[in-house]
């Protein structure tokens, strides 16, 4: 079964069922059935074809969350074009790179956001989309679309990596990637049409687009979409909408810890599944959320290039600090620098293989060749597998700190720092040292009750001496991407 046929089954069989609700910041509400989504996206697909877009050509969008992104996604699938989701927080320099690299025919955006696009870009305003669709429907009559490619190998999206350590690369994600990923998540997380999914994740990223949207469309459940996560409004959203499922990033769960206990417990009683991803979830946050909401977060691990790889079980132990075991459709091995699989308990790089892995990097044969070995994708993530199969991530290969010839991974130190009184967030980075090459330094968001000397003394009882941070740097907030990943290169310099 193709992705299009799988989604069409939901759109037709549940044509009259409520599918989506969205409240815009100005208070305008949109409510759509699955049948209305189907009709809207078909009209849009016709409009795009009448504007000259052919299968395989690219169309970018630069939009905050809104129902038109769903229309674009389904229209792209129906017409065979390739969508290029673009981070709504990006500005001209970042946008220029993606637009130059992907060479889209146009960028769909709003009047306000269009000001951030580089000069010379063909802009199609989403405010005019209703007019395109009305005109095209009138001209096309029954709006019968020519057949579009629907095989698993057909590219559906170019999604660009965050580019925090260099120019962003476009991962070529296929229809088969999205189908394999979505069907496995629906099965593993036991989605049904009775679920209610609250989505505050940005739809320009695979967490929202590949996971939330496809779990919704493949299961036929109900989706409430918001423009973004707003921590002050989130408790009210939970109480009003009463979701059974919520996908979030660690920063969202940290914010939810401010909910008063009685409200939190009531929310947790209705929430059958809370999933965290896109960045490591500290074990301490996992435990605090469980104690406050009575809901055990399910942490999982994926990448732009691979969608989902590993997850804690829906039924079974959701082990804090780990990302669980490989999903049924994915093979995962942990290998050393020579590419040889290591024993359980030994540290190495995660290599993955399966129908979830993208087709390569757009127009980057060098980067593709470097990342793939005999069908396996080298993730660049370092981890260790326990004897019972649970995988614990220790950081990116690029995060490795080599101090005096010893290797250390920041996450081990970060977890211990987060146990200290007053510490809300922590990240450890390596800074240059004339003697040891690099030494670890901790950047923290902490209250007045944090005591650096006391924290250092505690760490000395738990860690080897070369792992002790050379200093603690207080910051008001850690610089993050839209999905909560810490941008270490934006941290202030260490002056110790």
DSSP 379-422: EEEEEEE-TTS-EEEEEEGGG-EEETTEEE-HHHHHHHHTTSTT
Q: What is the pLDDT of residues 452-469, one digit of tens each?
A: 999 999 888 888 788 899
Closest residue by Cα to residue 430 from 404, 454, 448, 452: 404
What is the CA angle 294-300-306, rounded to 5? 160
Average the pLDDT over 2-18 and give the result. 97
Q: Tell which wins on pLDDT, 162 or 88.
A: 88
Taking all residues of the chain, what is their mean pLDDT, rounded to a whole number?
A: 91
Average the pLDDT over 59-84 and give the result. 97
Average the pLDDT over 138-157 and give the result. 76
3-state secondary structure of 62: strand
Closest residue by Cα to residue 250 from 206, 226, 282, 296: 282
Find out whether 270 and 240 touch, Cβ atoms under 8 Å: no
The yes-or-no verdict on residue 135 having pLDDT over 70 is: no
The yes-or-no verdict on residue 438 having pLDDT over 60 is: yes
The yes-or-no verdict on residue 166 having pLDDT over 90 is: no
The yes-or-no verdict on residue 401 having pLDDT over 80 is: yes
For residue 391, which phi and psi values (nearest 5 degrees)? -105, 135
Structure tokens of 153?
Answer: 């190998």
Dist. CA 176–CA 171, nearest whole Å? 14
Q: What is the pLDDT of residue 423?
A: 94
Average the pLDDT over 348-374 and give the result. 96
| 138: confidence class by pLDDT, cuts 50, 70, 90 | low
The yes-or-no verdict on residue 141 having pLDDT over 60 is: no
What percentage of the chain has pLDDT greater than the value 90?
74
The yes-or-no verdict on residue 484 having pLDDT over 90 is: no
The answer to whether the Cα torsion of 193, 199, 202, 206 is positive or negative is negative
| 410: confidence class by pLDDT, cuts 50, 70, 90 | confident
Q: What is the pLDDT of residue 403?
A: 81
3-state secondary structure of 222: strand
What DSSP line would sit under 165-209, residue for residue? TSS--EEEEEHHHHHHHHHHHHHHTT--TT-EEEE-S-TTSHIII
Q: What is the pLDDT of residue 404?
A: 67
Question: Domains in the chain, start-ordered, CATH in brackets?
Answer: 3-228 (3.40.50.12780), 273-396 (2.30.38.10), 400-490 (3.30.300.30)
Q: Are strands 196-199 and 222-225 parallel, antiparallel or unpaired?
A: parallel
| 489: confidence class by pLDDT, cuts 50, 70, 90 | confident
Average the pLDDT over 331-354 and give the result. 96
Average the pLDDT over 141-163 and give the result. 80
Closest residue by Cα to residue 297 from 330, 261, 258, 323: 323
pTM summary value: 0.85
The yes-or-no verdict on residue 259 having pLDDT over 80 is: yes
| 136: confidence class by pLDDT, cuts 50, 70, 90 | low
The answer to whether the Cα torsion of 64, 65, 71, 73 is positive or negative is positive
- Helices (H), strands (E): how many in the chain? 16, 25
**26-30, 78-82, 191-195: which has the minimum mean pLDDT?**
26-30
How far is CA 401 from each of CA 197, 282, 468, rounded to the nearest angstrom?
40, 20, 12
The yes-or-no verdict on residue 137 having pLDDT over 80 is: no
The answer to whether the Cα torsion of 352, 334, 425, 262 is positive or negative is positive
């Amino acid at each position: 079964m193709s992705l299009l046929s799988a989604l069409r089954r939901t759109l037709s069989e549940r044509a009259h069922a409520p599918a989506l609700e969205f409240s815009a910041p100005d208070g305008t509400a949109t409510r759509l059935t699955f049948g209305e989504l189907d009709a809207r996206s078909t009209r849009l697909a016709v409009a795009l074809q009448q504007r000259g877009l052919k299968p395989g050509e690219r169309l970018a969008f630069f939009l905050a969350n809104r129902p038109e992104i769903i229309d674009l996604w389904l229209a792209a699938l129906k017409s065979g074009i390739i969508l290029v989701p673009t981070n709504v927080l990006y500005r001209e320099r970042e946008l220029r790179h993606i637009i130059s690299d992907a060479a889209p025919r146009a960028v769909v955006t709003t009047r306000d956001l269009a000001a951030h696009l580089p000069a010379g870009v063909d802009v199609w305003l989403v405010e005019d989309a209703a007019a395109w669709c009305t005109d095209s429907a009138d001209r096309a009559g029954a709006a019968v679309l020519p057949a579009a490619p629907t095989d698993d190998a057909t590219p559906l999206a170019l999604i660009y990596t965050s580019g925090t350590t260099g120019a962003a690369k476009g991962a070529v994600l296929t229809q088969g990637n999205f189908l394999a990923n979505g069907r496995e998540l629906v099965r593993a997380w036991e989605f049904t049409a009775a679920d209610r999914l609250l989505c505050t994740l940005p739809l320009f990223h695979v967490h929202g687009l590949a996971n939330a949207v496809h779990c919704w469309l493949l299961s036929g459940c109900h989706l409430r979409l918001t423009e973004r996560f707003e921590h002050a409004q989130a408790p009210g959203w939970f109480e009003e909408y009463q979701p059974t499922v919520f996908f979030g990033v660690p920063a969202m769960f940290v914010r939810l810890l401010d909910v008063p206990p009685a409200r939190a417990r009531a929310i947790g009683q209705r929430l059958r599944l809370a999933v965290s991803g896109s960045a490591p979830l500290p074990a301490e946050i996992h435990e605090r959320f469980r104690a406050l909401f009575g809901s055990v977060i399910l942490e999982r691990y994926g990448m732009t290039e691979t969608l989902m790889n590993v997850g804690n079980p829906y039924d079974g132990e959701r082990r804090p600090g780990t990302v669980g075991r490989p999903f049924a459709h994915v093979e995962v091995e942990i290998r050393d620098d020579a590419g040889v699989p290591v024993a359980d308990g030994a540290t190495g790089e995660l290599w993955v293989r399966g129908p979830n892995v993208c087709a390569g990097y757009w127009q980057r044969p060098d980067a593709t060749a470097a990342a793939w070995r005999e069908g396996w994708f080298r993730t660049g993530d370092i981890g260790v597998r326990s004897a019972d199969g649970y995988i614990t991530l220790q950081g990116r290969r690029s995060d490795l700190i080599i101090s005096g010839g010893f290797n250390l991974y920041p996450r081990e130190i970060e977890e211990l720092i987060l146990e200290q009184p007053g510490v809300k967030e922590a990240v450890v980075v390596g800074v240059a040292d004339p003697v040891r090459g690099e030494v670890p330094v901790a950047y923290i968001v902490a209250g007045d009750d944090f005591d650096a000397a006391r924290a250092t003394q505690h760490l000395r009882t738990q860690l080897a001496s070369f792992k002790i941070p050379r200093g603690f740097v207080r910051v008001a907030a850690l610089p993050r991407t839209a999905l909560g990943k810490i941008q270490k290169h934006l941290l202030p310099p260490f002056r110790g």
